[in-house]
Chain A
Amino acid sequence: MTVPLGAYVVVSAALFFIGCAGVLVRRNAVVILMCVELMLNAANLALVAFSRKYGSIDERGSVFVIFVFVIAAAEVAVGLAIVLSAYRNRPVVDVDEIHQMKG
């Protein structure tokens, strides 16, 4: 009795939508970054599940997970740098309050 592939995909979709709701609902920029990380992680779960269950002898899907790790690390570094520099300009982290670049 093994866990079917669909169960992994359901968990991945649920976590993705939870992260999406967090991005839409939360106002704190750091929490929005955390929710984006949750969404990337959910995509990783789907990639690994399909790669392990469907793939042939080589691991094509898992290679993309490595690249997602790289993108996530770069994204969180640059995102936090942007948040910190905006915070240094004006001490707010609410994305509603940061509208200096609004046209």
Chain B
Amino acid sequence: MPAPPQRRQPARQADGQVTYDFVEPVVFALLSIGLIAGGVAVVMLSRITAAALLMAFTFLSMAGMFVLLGAETIALFQVLIYVGAITVLILYGVMFTKFSDRPRALFFQRQTPFAAVFVAAVAIPVAIIALSFTSPTPRPGGGDLIPLATSVFTDFAFPFEIASVLLLAAMIGAIVLTKRDEPEEAAARRRR
């Protein structure tokens, strides 16, 4: 008979030794508050630079969430790509465009009761469905680098190569879209 899955120890064992099982829910609650508050701030703030920096904070909280789930490699990629690359790219976009200070398009402003009804009708079933998911068996610990690399380079090798082609196409597209006109093209445009 296989051994039953090991139960978590209670918070205080019989010999008085304190375990740290309460740390995970506390960290989860803090990261959830950071995620939700950061997301709301990105949507609500009218200063776009502050919104971009709070988006970076949201991405960092998400990396912490990945660490809490035991996916350290994904968290590393999250910090590298989202916090490192995408935030910097968006900050450059903010700096290159003169943003206007127009208020948000509050098109729900006159329809607040209808909007509340709609949000409740969507959010309550979503919350019920989401809370109905339970994990069957606790996973054993350990990093995710080796299974991740095994999956990427065996079963998903072809999509991986396709993703590299997509990145190349996006890079060329971004260069072509933002390239300045050649001098002769500008001269031709001036002659017209």
Contact = CB atoms under 8 A, between A and B. Distances in A.
Interface of A: 1-15, 17-19, 21-22, 25-31, 33-35, 37-38, 41, 44-45, 48-55, 57-60, 62-63, 65-67, 69-78, 80-85, 87, 91-94, 96
Chain A facing B: main interface SS: helix
Nearest to B154: A58
Contact of A10 (B55, B130, B167, B177): B130
A70 B163 CA distance: 7
Nearest to B171: A77
Nearest to A29: B97
Contacts of A17: 122-123, 126
Given A37-B55, A38-B42, A74-B167, A6 B134 contact: yes
29 contacts: A1-B25, A2-B8, A2-B21, A3-B24, A5-B134, A6-B130, A6-B131, A10-B127, A13-B126, A15-B39, A18-B40, A26-B105, A30-B90, A35-B42, A52-B139, A55-B139, A62-B71, A62-B74, A66-B77, A66-B148, A70-B163, A70-B166, A70-B167, A73-B167, A77-B170, A83-B97, A84-B178, A87-B96, A94-B100
Given A18-B43, A33-B90, A63-B148, A92 B100 contact: yes
Chain B facing A: main interface SS: helix
Contacts, number: 232
Contact of B62 (A21, A33, A41, A87): A41
B36 A11 contact: yes
Interface residues of B, number: 83
Contacts of B74: 44, 48, 62, 65-66
A5 B90 contact: no
Nearest to B98: A91
